[in-house]
Amino acid sequence: MFRELRRKKQLLSEQETLRVLEEGKTGIVGVLGDDGYPYTVPINYVSLENKIYFHSAKKGHKVDAIAKEPKVSMTVVEKDDVVSREFTTYFRSIQLFGKAYVVEDEAERNVAFRALCEKFSGADMDRYDEIMSKEAAAAAIVRIDIEHITGKESMELVNQR
């Protein structure tokens, strides 16, 4: 169903792929947007139990597209070093595919909100209850159930291993 990577020597191990996913902060999510055009948007995310969670406005292009077609893709770039002298880029990134849903279950929403806040605002968790009481109701939590994930790096990085 999903294509195999052509350049198998550049394939990251499952462990390395999951490390990049876990440590990453920004992903680019692709959805099927208006009139069949792809629509991509950067998101901050957290990975929990083979699922991706991110927050979103409750209305807008992204959530409208997900409601119409839950199939999404997401890219996380860990390394992107242009090496001018070599006319190349030393890169490491992952690509995943899955289905996205707006989380309706209040317990799951709370777990995802807390995990996101711990990842991105861990030093300020003393304000968590205060901020959530003001802000959480206005936001949606979106979950991506991962169906396929791969990682790839440049040959230069492969050769450095």
> Per residue of the chain (161 residues), what is the pLDDT tens digit?
777 777 778 889 999 999 999 999 999 999 999 999 999 999 999 999 999 999 999 999 999 999 999 999 999 999 999 999 999 999 899 999 999 999 999 999 999 999 999 999 999 999 999 988 988 889 999 999 999 999 999 889 888 88
Distance CA 22, CA 15 (A): 10
pLDDT reported for residue 145:
98
| Confidence (pTM) | 0.92
pLDDT reported for residue 82:
94
pLDDT reported for residue 160:
84
pLDDT reported for residue 157:
85
- Between the CA atoms of 10, 12, 13 and 16, what dihedral angle is there, to the nearest 10 degrees? 150
pLDDT reported for residue 147:
97
CATH topology of domain 8-154: Pnp Oxidase; Chain A (2.30.110)
